[in-house]
Structure 1
C-alpha cells in the first residue's frame, strides 16, 4: 500500500513512522501539513511529537492544518488512519475519535517500555495480532491520560472499540487503562504508545510494534 505520513511543525517521529511503514513493505509518501491533498495515498499515519509546540492544547492547532480537512474526509470515507501519541491527540481534536488526552495524573513526563494488551485485533492496524496478545512498545508522553465521560467509555467497551490497554500499573492515569481506541467503523485508530519505535531488534525493546504496520499488508492482500 501507499502510506502517507504527515509532518506538522514540531513532529519528531515522522521519519520513524516512515521507516516502520517501509519495513512493513509499504511505499511511503511524506505529506506536509500545509498541503490540502493526500496525493492518492491508501492510508495515513499522523506521527508523534509536539505539533505547534503543544500550544493551547495538544493537537488543537494541527487539527486546523489544511491536510487535516483531507484526512477527515478520507477517514469518513473509510481510509485507514493511524494517530500515534500526538497523532492520537490530533484525531481526538478533529472529532474522528471520542474522548481527549490530558495531563498525566502524576504531572510528570513518562518515558519507558510499556506492556500492552491488544483488545481489538480486527482493525486495519491491528489485524496482525491475536486478540488478547501482549506486546511491549515504548511510551513517552506528558499528556497521555485518556479521558471520556462514563457513557462514552461504556459505549467503547460495549462495541469493542478499545484497541489496546496498559498492562500492569497505569502509567499516566488513563481511564480504564485505555491506551488506544478506534472509531465506530474501525478504520481510524489512535494509540498513545509508539509502535514505530519497536520495529527492529537493534533499536528499542524488540519488534512487537511492527504488527501495527504489517496489518495494512494483510488488508491490501484482501482487496
Structure 2
C-alpha cells in the first residue's frame, strides 16, 4: 500500500504524517508537492496540518485551488482513501470534499492540548480497529477548529453515520456543533478531523491511541485488495 503526504507552502505536520506511516505500518510513503498533477500511484492520500499558504484569506481557502487538489478529488471519486488532519480537514471542507466549515474557536484562542474523543463510527476505513463508543486520547492544536454546519446538514450527517469522532461531552475545546471532531463523506472513504492522530502513535508522546487509525487504513486496503484478488 502506498501513501502520499501532500505538502503545501506552510504545511508543518507533513513530517509527522510521514513518520506515522513509516513507524506504525511500515508502508511506502512519499512527500508530494502541491503542484503535482498525478496521484494515480497512491492508495491513500494524507492532507496534513499546518498553515497552508499562511492561512491567508481563510484556512484552506487558497490550498483548495492548488493543482494537486484536482487529483485528490479524482482519487476520492475513485474510492481511494483520503484523510485530512487539522488544516487538511479545513482544506477538504473548502474543496467541497467534506460537508461543513471550520470557524474560529469560540473562545478566540489557539488550543493545544490532549483531547478525549468518542469513536462514533468505527465502520470507516480509518476507524475499523476501534470499538464503537470507545474513548481515545488524541491531541489538538488549532485556532479554527469550530466545526459548523446548518441544521439540515447535521441531520444528514447523523442519518448517514458521517460523524466519525465527537469530543467527549463537557470537553468540547472549540464550540463545534454537536461536539463534532471529525466527519466523513457519504461513501466513507474521505475523513477529516481536527485532532492529530499522527501525534499519538507512541506512549512517549503521551498517547498511542492514534496508531490504530493507520493500522485501520492498512487493514481496510488489505481486505479490499484481497477481495479484488480472490474475485
TM range (shorter): over 0.9
**What RMSD in Å do the two structures reach over aligned CA positions?**
0.9
Q: Which residue of 1 aligns with 2:228?
A: none
Q: How does 1:1-223 map to 2 (within 5 A)?
A: 1-22=1-22, 23-38=24-39, 40-167=41-168, 168-202=170-204, 204-222=205-223, 223=225
Q: How many residues align?
A: 222
Which aligned segments of 4 or more residues in structure 1 are displaced greater than 4 angstroms? none
Q: Which consecutive residues of structure 1, in runs of 5 or more, have no partner in the other structure?
A: none
Residue pair 1:104, 1:173 contacting (<8 A) in 2 also: yes
CA positional deviation for 1:169: 2.2
TM-score between both structures, scaled by the size of structure 2? 0.94
Q: Which consecutive residues of structure 2, in runs of 5 or more, have no partner in the other structure?
A: 226-231
Which stretch has the larger CA shift, 127-136 or 21-30? Answer: 21-30
TM-score between both structures, scaled by the size of structure 1? 0.97
CA positional deviation for 1:163: 0.2
CA positional deviation for 1:39: 5.0
Residue pair 2:118, 2:166 contacting (<8 A) in 1 also: yes
2:213 and 2:171 mapped to 1: Cα distance?
A: 23
1:48 and 1:65 mapped to 2: Cα distance?
A: 16
2:173 and 2:197 mapped to 1: Cα distance?
A: 16
2:56 and 2:196 mapped to 1: Cα distance?
A: 22
